[in-house]
Structure 1
Amino acid sequence: MTTDSEVIRRSRDSPRAFGDLFHRHATVVHRYIARRAGTDVADEVMSETFLVAFERRDRFDLAHSDARPWLLGIATVLLASYRRREARHLHSLARVAEREDDDGGLGQVASRADAVADIRRIAMRVRSLSDGDRDVLLLHAWADLSGEEIATALSIPVGTVRSRLSRARKILRASAESTTSKEADHGRADAAARA
């Protein structure tokens, strides 16, 4: 099997060869974009990603055998113009989680209400991260890229990736602990009121 760098090298003389790169990575790129900005944007940004990659194929570092980080880096940069849509999408995820089926039992309703609250909190926490921290976190969590691959994708040092990922995790963890502490206090207050 040929590597991505070999496909890109071939595409410099035979542009049609670039189609192989599209077939290899379109699904991953589309899924990543859809998770970040919604399916209504995914087709457009994916197409734009591969167009930019094709136009910049002469700049691809052929020492890298996998073009996935490069493609996801291009997609991440293009998504910057869709930041507002991404924020609305995360907000809508929280709203969608609020919808409940009327046919569930009381146990299911309580369970669903807890899940709704969790999804809303997570979406709001992710939305509150800086753009750079959110990019690193989502490339790691949703695109399953390693620290080195994220560094390649965003053209930043690996140390910066580690710092951003650590900071994002710390913020999310602190927010979760704060929420858990408030819920425990609220639960104790409810128990005391019932006693």
Structure 2
Amino acid sequence: MTAETIPDDRPDLTGARAGAELTRLYAAHARDLHRYLARRLTPAAADDLVAETFLIAWERRATYSPGRASARAWLFGIATNLARRHARDEVRGLRAHTRAGPEPDTAEAAEVRATARADAANQTAALSAGLAGLSDEERDALLLVAWAGLTPKEVAEALGINPTTVRTRLHRARTALRTHLTDRENRT
């Protein structure tokens, strides 16, 4: 469910209906938050971080300002900050995946399937290495757009930065990934 399908994505979380509003926000956004976090981390980590996102939202409900950001952007900002806690492990995992190379195919498979799987594993390793090489800020902006489906304006709201900064980070991240993938392709 997206923010456009929700009648009011800038709720009052300070009033008597704060619990009901947060429940409504959970129903509206938990699935998208989980999808985003699962793609960044793991499904198990996403389960924990979605729960933690809403716990933090409840604890900080008095600081939410509907005039500053939509609830969706606010929640994605909280989730992104939680994912940043895992950034060091994320980067280590991406680098380890790159060093390990493609997984061996243990099953007897058709030659075409094996080739496709090897190509996909190589592309995943190349993309993982490229993502690991980005700064945390560039990676956050890129993944919020690519995996969470946020607009640059929503990313700016989520991260508390200027939309122009988001566009600059996206440009730098995309350029760095293109360069990394092109350089890797030229070496093979």
Contact 1:4–1:65 (CA under 8 A) maintained in structure 2:
no
Amino acid corresponding to residue 33 of structure 1 in structure 2: L
Q: Distance in 1 between matches of 2:172 and 2:59?
A: 35
Select the structure of larger CA radius of gyration: 1
Given the alignment, which residue of 147, 161, 166 partners 1:161? 166
What are the superposed Cα offsets for residues 141-186 of structure 1, whole Å, 9 maximum, x if unpaired?
Answer: 0001111000000001111101111000010011111122222xxx
Match of 1:13 in 2: 16
Q: Distance in 2 between matches of 1:91 and 1:38?
A: 16
Given the alignment, which residue of 4, 9, 14 partners 1:4? 9
Given the alignment, which residue of 181, 184, 187 partners 2:186? 181
Contact 1:49–1:75 (CA under 8 A) maintained in structure 2:
yes
TM-superposed deviation, 1:35: 1.2
Amino acid corresponding to residue 135 of structure 1 in structure 2: D
Contact 1:133–1:168 (CA under 8 A) maintained in structure 2:
yes
What are the superposed Cα offsets for residues 6-44 of structure 1, whole Å, 9 maximum, x if unpaired?
Answer: xx3166222321211111111111111111121221122
The alignment status of 1:127 with 2:132, answered yes or no, reads yes
Amino acid corresponding to residue 9 of structure 1 in structure 2: D
Cα RMSD (Å): 2.2
Q: Distance in 2 between matches of 1:137 and 1:144?
A: 10
- Structure 1 counterpart SS, 2:150: coil
Match of 1:190 in 2: none
Q: Distance in 1 between matches of 2:151 and 2:165?
A: 13
TM-superposed deviation, 1:131: 0.5
Change (3 A) 1:135 1:97: same
TM-superposed deviation, 1:139: 0.2
Q: Distance in 2 between matches of 1:68 and 1:53?
A: 11
Q: Distance in 1 between matches of 2:81 and 2:178?
A: 27
TM-score by length of 2: 0.86
Given the alignment, which residue of 74, 82, 85 partners 1:78? 82
Superposed, 1:87-166 pairs within 5 Å as: 87-90=91-94, 98-166=103-171
Structure richer in helix, relative to its length: 1
Structure 1 residue ranges, 4+ long, deviating more than 4 angstroms after superposition: 91-97
5+ residue gaps in structure 2?
Answer: 1-5
What are the superposed Cα offsets for residues 84-120 of structure 1, whole Å, 9 maximum, x if unpaired?
Answer: 3323554576669524252212222222212211111
* Identical amino acids, percent of aligned pairs: 36
Amino acid corresponding to residue 56 of structure 2 in structure 1: V
Match of 2:65 in 1: 61
Q: Distance in 1 between matches of 2:96 and 2:58?
A: 33
5+ residue gaps in structure 1?
Answer: 184-195
Amino acid corresponding to residue 88 of structure 2 in structure 1: R
Contact 1:25–1:68 (CA under 8 A) maintained in structure 2:
yes
Change (3 A) 1:121 1:57: same
